[in-house]
Amino acid sequence: QQPVQSPQAVILREGEDAVINCSSSKALYSVHWYRQKHGEAPVFLMILLKGGEQKGHDKISASFNEKKQQSSLYLTASQLSYSGTYFCGTGSTNDYKLSFGAGTTVTVRA
């Protein structure tokens, strides 16, 4: 089942912060975050695993609430390059395939 992302879209000015949320109705083992710019492929940002392990870029932060099956991605001091569509992909305990959310479109303006 597809995870639910919120908000659908957000507009920021450079330097502002934003939070993108991802929630699932299934027990989760992993949450992946990707960013996709228009006409390009999704690019890996972060993986959060059950138990607290994280893998990803130093400038990106995220959290994973295992009890609530929720994850949040934090965009801090946003830059123009942060613009794009952010997708969360969730993996359940029993298999490794990911279900992706509908995406959150982030627009950062000067």
Partner 1 sequence: DAGVIQSPRHEVTEMGQEVTLRCKPISGHDYLFWYRQTMMRGLELLIYFNNNVPIDDSGMPEDRFSAKMPNASFSTLKIQPSEPRDSAVYFCASSLWDAREPQHFGDGTRLSIL
Q: Which residues bind partner 1 (CB under 8 A)?
A: 2, 29-30, 32, 34, 40-44, 47, 49, 55, 87, 89, 91, 95-103
Q: Nearest approach, Cβ of 4 to partner 1 (angstroms)? A: 12
Amino acid code (one letter) for 58: D
Return the structure tokens found at 80.
């123009």
Kind of pairing, strands 70-75 and 18-23? Answer: antiparallel
Position of tokens 């942060």?
A: 82
CB of 9 to partner 1, least distance (A): 14
Nearer to partner 1, 84 or 101 (CB): 101
Q: Which is nearer to partner 1, 34 or 82 (CB)?
A: 34
96 vs 110, which CB is nearer to partner 1? 96
> What CA–CA distance (Å, rounded) separates 83 from 63?
21
Q: Which is nearer to partner 1, 85 or 109 (CB)?
A: 85
* Whether 30 contacts 46, CB under 8 Å: no
